[in-house]
């Protein structure tokens, strides 16, 4: 059996630092367990016998959010500047979603939040907004652990865009330990210097599961001495929070990040809305990413001058994804309700302010449950002969996903065989191509199981048993009772709505 271990003394030291790093992302030590049975009643997938273990890509939407989306249709109208009562009602719900998202991550106000289609576009927004500030000889530092979305934009900036403008800017890549999966902080420090305008780092790897010590990364960026246009002498820090925010208590002010990007479709929203948090003084000074439409101040367009709208609308060009934003804000509220009181929702469908203690408690419960599931799958998989598990071996040092390979077996085929057994895994590079190449994987791929608050220990055991059967040479693992493999695609089958008691959206959410 080959299992990557993470128990070296250096790794232990790094882990201790990581715990300090993520103090504001830590759950209460004695978190109250989730009421998972009640939680699952709000979703439709259990009725199909699905074992959903690809949550790192997208989570499942609760029935309430799907019903809410449908209920908003009859009163739909464009937002801002409309005189109709429908426009004003829709605008109020739309703007309220910004407030909800800001409160969820601890931002001072909605002025620090911009909405895009996904995490990728949010990171690109930072790249394009900072593009003209880069000087010849500058550099960007990121890591080999990143999702492609937090590397390829900087590659494009340094290798394709700025060279055409006559500027030479480097993109530097920090290593990670191939055994422990931990970020090599020493190497990262050696890459940051007085010409480092920006440091980009994942909050949690979507392949290794590693959670880098963000406080130490922040300290390295602060100490660079780079002279920013506003006179600050430090490097900016951008954190890809796509895997961090959905399963952890996150406070952007405590973490002191300059930019944080994450996606609502990874925290229960049924479609793509991405969030960019940025420090308000930076968003005020930066150029917009997109121009036109709602990002223009009312009446402020002249042949020789254009005035931009106030934050956050400066970063909201054109007609936005109105319904997506509203439902994403309510997804945050739904997440809190599921964690705190799934049988008696308190936040969903309301404009009730989200208090920080409630967010901390809710996300602490989610993190504790995810950690329990992750520990269980790590323990189970580690008993399988011929398996390689990537990243830290301690559940408390990683997010709720586990990527692995079976000796001599193609990971894509492994995922296909898992699907035949009713386990919805995912295989490929997971858009973490640099890390797969760094580990010299051929093909650059792995199979991944990822969990969220509605998964159960029994589902973990089923997944582990299916992996064990495949490793033992069974090309057709047993299909668990209750799993449907109909000739008609499952999404065309009539589905009795789950959680019928709560599926109807509150009357408050219907626009006037």
| DSSP category for residue 398 | B
Does 170 sit behind a cis peptide bond, omega within 30 degrees of 0 on the bond before it?
A: no
Residue 251 to residue 225: CA distance in whole angstroms:
25
Residue 370 to residue 505: CA distance in whole angstroms:
28
For residues 414-450, one letter each, b for 16 or more C-beta atoms within 10 angstroms of the residue's C-beta and e for the rest, the string is bbebbbbbbbbbbbbbbbbbbbbebbebeebbbbbbb
In the prediction, which pLDDT does 170 show? 98
Look up tokens 């969990």; give the residue.
451
Residue 55 to residue 40: CA distance in whole angstroms:
15
In the prediction, which pLDDT does 221 show? 98
Tokens of 495: 């589905």
Per-residue pLDDT of the chain (512 residues; tens, 9 = 90+): 333 333 333 333 333 333 333 444 444 445 678 999 999 999 999 999 999 999 999 999 999 999 999 999 999 999 998 899 999 999 999 999 999 999 999 999 999 999 999 999 999 999 999 999 999 999 999 999 999 999 999 999 999 999 999 999 999 999 999 999 999 999 999 999 999 999 999 999 999 999 999 999 999 999 999 999 999 999 999 999 999 999 999 999 999 999 999 999 999 998 779 999 999 999 999 999 999 988 999 999 999 999 999 999 999 999 999 999 999 999 999 999 999 999 999 999 998 999 999 999 999 999 999 999 999 999 999 999 999 999 999 999 999 999 999 999 999 999 999 999 999 999 999 999 999 999 999 999 999 999 999 999 999 999 999 999 999 987 665 655 555 554 445 445 555 544 444 566 666 676 55
158 tagged catalytic? no
Q: By C-alpha distance, which of 181, 183, 222, 176 is closest to 199?
A: 222
Q: By C-alpha distance, which of 14, 27, 507, 481 is closest to 249?
A: 27
In the prediction, which pLDDT does 493 show? 54
Evaluate whether 462 touches 469 at the Cβ level (below 8 Å): no
In the prediction, which pLDDT does 6 show? 34
Query: CA-CA distances (angstroms) from residue 386 to 338, 406, 466, 472?
Result: 38, 6, 14, 9
Q: By C-alpha distance, which of 155, 93, 121, 65 is closest to 345?
A: 65
Q: State whether the Cα torsion 380-385-391-397 is positive or negative.
A: positive
Q: CB-based contacts of 12: which residues, under 8 Å, 6+ apart?
A: none
Q: Is 390 exposed, middle or buried (0-12, 13-18, 19+ CB in 10 A)?
A: buried
In the prediction, which pLDDT does 507 show? 63
Residue 412 to residue 421: CA distance in whole angstroms:
15
The model scores a pTM over 0.85: yes
Evaluate whether 238 touches 258 at the Cβ level (below 8 Å): yes
Q: By C-alpha distance, which of 498, 510, 495, 122 is closest to 330?
A: 510
Residue 49 to residue 44: CA distance in whole angstroms:
10
In the prediction, which pLDDT does 494 show? 54
Tokens of 483: 């799993």
Q: Which residue is catalytic, options 171, 200, 201, 431?
A: 431
């Amino acid at each position: 059996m080959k299992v990557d271990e993470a128990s070296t003394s250096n790794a232990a030291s790094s882990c201790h630092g990581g715990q300090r790093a993520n103090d504001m992302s830590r759950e209460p030590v004695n978190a109250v367990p989730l009421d998972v049975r009640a939680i699952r009643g709000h979703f439709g997938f259990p009725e199909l016998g699905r074992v959903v273990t690809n949550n790192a890509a997208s989570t499942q939407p609760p029935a309430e959010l799907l019903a809410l989306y449908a209920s908003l249709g009859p009163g739909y109208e464009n937002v801002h500047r409309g005189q109709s009562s429908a426009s004003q009602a829709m605008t109020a719900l739309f703007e309220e979603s910004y407030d909800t998202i800001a409160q969820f991550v601890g931002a001072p106000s909605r002025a620090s939040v911009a909405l895009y289609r996904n995490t990728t576009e949010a990171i690109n927004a930072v790249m394009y907004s900072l593009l003209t500030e880069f000087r010849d000889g500058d550099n960007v530092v990121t890591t080999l652990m990143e999702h492609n979305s937090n590397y390829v934009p900087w590659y494009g900036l340094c290798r394709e865009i700025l060279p055409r403008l006559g500027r030479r800017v480097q993109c530097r890549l920090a290593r990670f330990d191939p055994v422990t999966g931990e970020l090599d902080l020493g190497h990262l420090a050696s890459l940051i210097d007085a010409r480092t305008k920006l440091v980009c780092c994942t909050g949690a790897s979507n392949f290794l599961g590693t959670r880098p010590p963000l406080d130490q990364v922040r300290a390295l960026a602060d100490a660079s001495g780079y002279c920013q246009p506003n006179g600050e002498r430090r490097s900016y820090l951008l954190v890809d929070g796509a895997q961090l925010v959905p399963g952890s208590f996150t406070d952007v002010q405590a973490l002191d990040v300059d930019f944080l990007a994450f996606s609502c479709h990874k925290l229960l929203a049924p479609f793509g809305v991405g969030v960019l948090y940025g420090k308000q003084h930076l968003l005020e000074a930066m150029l917009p990413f997109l121009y036109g439409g709602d990002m223009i101040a009312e009446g402020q367009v002249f042949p020789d001058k254009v005035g931009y709208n106030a934050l956050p609308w400066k970063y909201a060009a054109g007609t936005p994804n109105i319904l997506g934003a509203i439902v994403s804000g309510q997804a945050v509220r739904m997440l809190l309700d599921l964690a705190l009181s799934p049988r008696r929702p308190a936040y969903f469908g309301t404009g009730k302010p989200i208090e920080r203690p409630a967010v901390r408690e809710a996300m602490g419960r989610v993190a504790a449950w995810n950690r329990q599931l992750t520990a269980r799958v790590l323990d189970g998989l580690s008993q399988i002969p011929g398996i390689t598990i990537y990243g830290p071996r301690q559940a408390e040092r990683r997010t709720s996903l586990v990527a692995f390979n079976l000796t001599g077996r193609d990971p894509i085929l492994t995922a296909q065989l898992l699907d035949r057994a009713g386990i919805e895994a995912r295989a490929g590079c997971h858009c973490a191509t640099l890390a797969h190449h760094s580990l010299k994987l051929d093909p650059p791929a792995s199979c991944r199981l990822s969990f969220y608050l509605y998964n159960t220990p029994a589902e973990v055991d089923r997944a582990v048993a299916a992996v064990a059967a495949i490793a033992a040479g069974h090309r057709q693992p047993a299909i668990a009772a209750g799993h449907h493999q109909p000739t008609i695609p499952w999404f065309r089958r009539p589905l009795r709505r789950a959680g019928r008691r709560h599926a109807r959206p509150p009357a408050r959410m219907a626009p006037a």
